[in-house]
Amino acid sequence: MAAHQEAIFDVAQLAHVEILSPDPAATEEFFVDYLGMEVTAREGQTAHLRAYEESYHSSLLITEAPEPGVGHVAWRAQSPAALERRVAAIESTGLGRGWIDGATGHGAAYQFNTPDDHLMEIFWDVERWTPAPEERTPLKNRPQRRPRHGVPVRRLDHVNLMAADPVECREFMQEQLGFRVRERIVSDGSPDAVELGNWMSVSPSVHELAIMRDPAELRGRFHHVCYWYGVPQHCNDAAEVLREAGYEIEAGPGKHGVSQATFLYVWEPGGNRVELFGDVGYLIHEPDWEPVTWEADTEMTWLTSVYGPIPMSFFEIGTPPVGPAAAAPAADTRAAAS
C-alpha cells in the first residue's frame, strides 16, 4: 500500500465569490428578491451580499463589467500562521500577485492566480455581520431571522471553474493549498484517459471547488456559483418561483451522481449560471479517502444526473461566453429530460 501523504489543513473555507455582470441591477434583484439575500455594502461598481445563515459580512460580490464571468474567488485560512504558510507555498510557484491591505469585509489578503489565470485571494481577518435589532432571532446559533421573501438560500456552498487544463489547476490547489480530491471524471478507462473534471474540498464536504475542462480550451472562465438550501424541497419551490418570474431554468430539479446532491441550475439575468443545492450530498470523514473516478464514455448518464440527462449546454457554456453558444442561455429542457 502506498504511503499516506500528510494532509494540509491551512485553508478553512470558501469565503466569497465575485461575479461580473453587464446588468448588475438585474443580477442583484435576482439574488435579493428571489434568493432572499441581503445587500450589506456598496463600493464603486460592486455590491456585497450575504445569505441569512452566514456570519461574515458578505459571501457574494456583484461587480459591473462588460461581460459575465468570475472576478475572483476568496478563501479564509485556518489561522494567521496558516496564512503565512500558504503564501510561502504559493510564492514558490511564481503565481503570487502580492498583498492587498484589505477590502470591504476582510483584512489583508494575498492575491494569486491559478495556473489557468483565475484570480484568487486568501486571508485571515474577517468582518462579522451584526444584524439590525428587528432582524435578530431567538436562535442563538443563527445570525438573523429567516427572510420572508423569495426562497431564501442559507449559505455559499461552492464554486465551479472552467479551465483549459484542469489537471494543472487541480495539482496546484492540492500541493499549494491542501485541497483533497473527492471525485473526478475521466474520458474513458484507458491509460491515456483525459481528466474532464475534478471535485475538491478542504472539509468533509464533497467539494468547495470544482474544475471542469473548458471545451473552448480558454483560460480563466467561470461555470457557476452555488448556494445551499439544505432542504431538497426548496429546489422545487425555487424552480417554480423563478420560472414563473421568467428566469431561464437550465437543468433540474434533479440529483447528481457526482456528490449525490440535489440541484437546480438557473441563469441569472447578467448571464451567469447559478446552482442551488437542496442538500449536502454526502460527507467524507475518512483521512485516507480514495477519489471516486467516473468514466464519461460509459457512466455519463449516472454521474451528471441520477434522474435523467441534463442539456449539453451544461458542458459547453461558460462565461465569458464564446462562439455560437454565446447568443443566449440554453432553453428549458426539463420536460425532455424527465
Residues 174, 305, 270: CA angle, nearest 5 degrees: 75
Q: What pLDDT score does 304 carry?
A: 79
- Among candidate residues 242, 251, 278, 240, the one with its CA nearest the CA of residue 262: 278
Domain range holding 118?
11-127+152-337
The number of beta carbons lying within 10 Å of the beta carbon of residue 230 is: 14
Q: How many CB atoms lie within 10 A of CB 128?
A: 10
Please indicate, yes or no, if residue 147 is contained in any of the structural domains. Answer: no
Residue 95 lies in a domain: yes
Confidence (pLDDT) at 331 = 36
C-alpha cell at 197: 473534471
Kindly list the distances between the CA atom of residue 274 and the CA atoms of 3, 229, 270, in Å, as whole numbers in the listed order.
Answer: 39, 13, 11
Distance of alpha carbon 101 from alpha carbon 10, whole angstroms = 21
Residue 178 lies in a domain: yes
CATH of the domain at 180: 3.10.180.10
**Counting runs of H as helices and runs of E as strands, what totals does the chain give?**
7, 17
Question: What pLDDT does residue 299 have?
Answer: 82
Q: Which residues of the chain have pLDDT under 50?
A: 1-2, 325-338
pTM of the model: 0.92
Quote the pLDDT of residue 333: 32
Asked if 207 and 13 count as a contact pair (C-beta separation under 8 A), the reply is: no
Q: For residue 325, what pLDDT is reported?
A: 46
* Residue 256 within any structural domain of the chain: yes
Instruction: Give the SS3 label for residue 89.
Output: helix
pLDDT given at position 336: 30
What is the count of structural domains for the chain? 1
**Residue 137 covered by a domain:** no
Joined together, the cell numbers standing for residue 253 give 430539479
- Considering just the CA atoms, what is the radius of gyration of the chain in Å? 19
Amino acid 87: pLDDT: 98
Q: Which amino acid, one-letter code, is at 14? A: L
Q: Does 1 reside within a domain? A: no
In a domain, 248, yes or no: yes
Q: Is residue 141 part of a domain?
A: no
Say what the pLDDT of residue 152 is: 97
